[in-house]
Amino acid sequence: MPRPEKVQAVADIKERLQEARAVFMAEYAGLTVKEQQGLRRALRAADSEFKIYKMTLARLAASELGRDDMLELLVGPTGMAFATGDAAATAKVLRDFSKDHARLIIKGATLGAELLAPERVGILADLEPREVLLAKIAGALQAPMAAMAGLMAALPRNLASMIKQLADKTAPAPGEPMAAAPAPEVSVEPAADDESTAEAGVPADEAEAKTAATTTDESTADPAGEE
């Protein structure tokens, strides 16, 4: 029957594995106690914690969680860095520390359900901090919205300016009367049954009066004068 302290250790490892955003495995053999303390302080500043367990217990915890992909990393003198904050920040601390302390060897990491090889941990370390990336994403999303808001705000001003310019062009100068609208043209055609009078330029009523007088003179003439 397992001893209670081993059961508690396995439970502690399982809880940390489930809560961590990322878990980094690194070989620490040869680091002095002072160097290990310096590593722990640097990792705490990045919201992570460096723990050393017996690998038999760590492997048991990983197996119970169905993370058999981690088993190949949990061998030998291996420490586990549990990142509860920005995984990239933790990767950067480990990468920078290993540059100054060759005895710290990064073996790999888990990021969510994915297993990362050492070279991918280096790529993760090169990423900008999470806060910076979020700020850039927010800025990229807000830029089109700000441009649209500026355009909508400018529309009323531009519309008012256009109306004013149009009014200035059509309005008369000061002291100048407004031009009257031209009267519509009306064409009058002569009557079709009085072409002769129309051509002579004599009004139709005067022509009719002359015709009637001529007829009367002819009818009252002395017939005796005719032979």
Q: What is the CATH number of the domain that holds 94?
A: 3.30.70.1730
pLDDT at 127: 86
Would you say residue 187 lies in a domain?
no
Residue 154 lies in a domain: no
Q: Two tokens at 185?
A: 């043209």
pTM above 0.75, yes or no: no
Residue 189, pLDDT above cutoff 60: no
Structural contact between residues 89 and 95, judged by C-beta atoms closer than 8 angstroms: no
Neighbouring C-beta atoms of residue 71, cutoff 10 Å:
13
Domains contained in the chain, number: 1
pLDDT digits 0-9 by tens, 146-187: 665 665 565 555 555 555 565 555 555 555 555 554 555 555
Nearest to 85 by CA among 125, 54, 130, 117: 130
In a domain, 29, yes or no: yes
In a domain, 185, yes or no: no
Domain extent, residue 70, equals 11-127
